[in-house]
A and B are shown apart, each in its own frame.
Chain A
Amino acid sequence: MANIFPRWSNWLPLKIIFCLLTLGGGVSAGVWYYLNPEYMRVGYQPAQPVPFSHKIHAGQLNMDCRYCHSYVETSAYSNIPTTQVCMNCHSQIQGTSPKLQLVRDSWQTGKPLEWVQVHKTPEHAYFHHSVHVNRGVSCVSCHGKVNEMDVVYHAQSHSMAWCLDCHRNPADFLRPVAEVTNLDWKPQGDKTQREIGAALVKDWHVNPPVKNCAGCHR
């Protein structure tokens, strides 16, 4: 009897194996890249109901973050300013600008503004703003250069691994508490960030939870 399979079938297995390897590699690479907060979160930039520009307020006008996010030093939560806060200035400045129509409506009707949330801590993680800003972690470390953003976007991945980067080496990120809201701060003089940070870690006895899951997960 003759051969069951044609000649070319001898190469088939190799080809199949090759395809499978490529496919598998491709899939894992895709998962690795796309299902990663680095991709999923960073750059998330939803349109806001009111075209509020941090660039103008925090950048050009050089307003301090804490003017609006007033509780960041006392509360776990960095609050979104009330309409009241907007109106403090905008009852005088640009009182008629159509951009601010929603704000004025809200002020008159009492119906709150609905801002789209950009940075969201997972529900099982408890991030505490005040303990960070009071211990020399700058806004910029997590939120990026908001003072240069017209529309706020997600600047960092906010993944657990990312949190741990800082919790493991705080020296690379800490700065004097006074400079926390200064998003453009650079290490002063001849000192590097690491030297400054190391000094602060030593003086303040900084030891963020690393092994202690309960530090963030309760």
Chain B
Amino acid sequence: MSKTALSLETPPDLKRPALVSNDRSIGWVSHNVCDIVEAPTPKWWLLAISITSPIALMGLICIIYQISNGVGVWGENHPNGWAWDITNFVFWIGIGHAGTLISAVLFLTRQKWRTSINRAAEAMTLFAVICAGIFPAIHVGRVWYAWFLAPIPNTNAIWPNFRSPLLWDVFAVSTYFSVSVLFWFVGLIPDLATLRDRAKSKLARTLYGIGALGWRGGNRQWRHYEMAYLLLAGLSTPLVLSVHSIVSFDFATSIMPGWHTTIFPPYFVAGAIFGGFAMVLTIMLPAAKIFPQLNDMITRHHVDKMAKIILLTGSIVGYAYLMELFVAWYGVNKFESFTFFTARANVNGEGWYQWAYWIMMFCNVISPQIFWFKKMRTNYIVVFIVCQFVNVGMWFERFTIIVTSLAQDFLPSSWGHYAPSTTEILTFVGTFGIFLTLFLVFMRFLPMIAISEVKGVLPEADPHHHHPKH
């Protein structure tokens, strides 16, 4: 980002809406963001966490029960070896893509408006990936032997199968999580310093102080810092694309009709961004309501832009759905066409899960089309509702892909219905508890908005900006 001495003259300002409304000052930003953390614990927060944490606990209990008794307490069977477990995994990992995408891709593309949402989005990414990680971990029959997946020398002289997409998943997801954590933390350092220096209590000062790693904001630090940030962004961008591509390989590299599809990687990535942004909005809109002071930083323009992205990615996903149908029709493979036209779209009444398919179609393809209208894009209520549709739709997309292909595959004799068990449902609900609890904690103790980055995009931050000092 550092410009050369020659270009000290800034280009003439394009007519763009201000990224922070009401012409706020630098001090105002740090004050208002930190205020959220420093203010006494609000009632609603206590209420919220007292609801979400028991739900999280319930989820954990279900997991313990499942591990101690076996996968049988879920609804999986022959032929549906996977169902809700992997559906939930892909669902969460998909959500986990928005954060890094906003931080990295928008950063590389100089989308300055990202600054007010990237912090929360990254946090959301981490928590979503944690929830996602739970499912592949516990879906295996013998969790206590999961270390077989690790390529460590052992007295059995046996190694994992590096050709298995499932092993790719292990590497991809763990890498993605680590890198996201780094990315998030590096971004936090200057803001932790701000909190450190504002902190009243000794404890807070010490804790934030440790987090800030003795940050001094010297320009000699900033330049390495910015380079590191740039590189992380550069690394995360291919990473974020690779992760969901690899997740899609779980299906694409198999031979099951409805899984064995080359369009999966781009289609999954688009879907991930789609669902991710929906989840970001699902969280940011209420947050902006709760903290009015954020309204100047999370403006209608942000919502508008994100709605546009949802519209775009939603349409890409829709295109993928149609392309699958087309290929199934155009190809001569009866098994393929059965899966798409009978098992899923159910044109002739023999499909078992058509409801899942059509819910997916409506939520993911139809509902976002409303965003063609700016009025709708900037109407928080409408946006919020559509986002909920998208959240639901994306879950059903994964359910449709996994279950319909397995339930009705090559040999009719092996067909079988699938129905989730209570344990299974509660486990999934539990992960929402975990997700929300973590996010509430984050909200309470860490700056929800990247203070230094927002400051950086204030007009005041421009060295050649001259206006009366307050």
- Specify whether A and B are partners: yes
By a beta-carbon cutoff of 8 Å, the part of chain A in contact with chain B is: 1, 4-5, 36-38, 157, 159-162, 164
CB distance from B201 to the nearest CB of A (A): 12
- Cβ–Cβ < 8 Å partners of B154 in chain A: 161
Q: Are the CB atoms of B196 and A159 closer together than 8 Å?
A: no
CB distance from B213 to the nearest CB of A (A): 9
Q: How many residues of B contact A (CB 8 A)?
A: 11
- Cβ–Cβ < 8 Å partners of A162 in chain B: 155
Q: Are the CB atoms of B209 and A160 closer together than 8 Å?
A: no
CB distance from A212 to the nearest CB of B (A): 14
Q: Are the CB atoms of A4 and B206 closer together than 8 Å?
A: yes
Q: Are the CB atoms of A160 and B157 closer together than 8 Å?
A: yes
Q: Are the CB atoms of A161 and B155 closer together than 8 Å?
A: yes
Q: Are the CB atoms of A4 and B205 closer together than 8 Å?
A: yes
Residue in A closest to B196 when the chains form the complex, CB atoms: A4
Q: Are the CB atoms of A164 and B209 closer together than 8 Å?
A: no
Q: Are the CB atoms of A157 and B157 closer together than 8 Å?
A: no
- Cβ–Cβ < 8 Å partners of B158 in chain A: 160
CB distance from B141 to the nearest CB of A (A): 15
Residue in B closest to A35 when the chains form the complex, CB atoms: B155
Q: Are the CB atoms of A157 and B155 closer together than 8 Å?
A: yes
By a beta-carbon cutoff of 8 Å, the part of chain B in contact with chain A is: 154-158, 196-197, 205-206, 209, 214
- Cβ–Cβ < 8 Å partners of B209 in chain A: 4-5
- Cβ–Cβ < 8 Å partners of B157 in chain A: 160-161, 164
CB distance from A44 to the nearest CB of B (A): 16
CB distance from B362 to the nearest CB of A (A): 49
CB distance from A41 to the nearest CB of B (A): 10
Residue in A closest to B202 when the chains form the complex, CB atoms: A4
CB distance from A74 to the nearest CB of B (A): 30
- Cβ–Cβ < 8 Å partners of B205 in chain A: 4
- Cβ–Cβ < 8 Å partners of B156 in chain A: 159-161
> CA–CA, A164 to B157, complex, Å?
8
Q: Are the CB atoms of B206 and A36 closer together than 8 Å?
A: no
Given contacts A38-B155, A157-B155, 15 further A-B contacts (CB under 8 A): A4-B196, A4-B205, A4-B206, A4-B209, A5-B209, A5-B214, A36-B155, A37-B155, A160-B155, A160-B156, A160-B158, A161-B154, A161-B156, A161-B157, A164-B157
- Cβ–Cβ < 8 Å partners of A157 in chain B: 155
Q: Are the CB atoms of A159 and B206 closer together than 8 Å?
A: no
> CA–CA, A4 to B196, complex, Å?
9
> CA–CA, A87 to B155, complex, Å?
42
CB distance from B408 to the nearest CB of A (A): 33
- Cβ–Cβ < 8 Å partners of A36 in chain B: 155
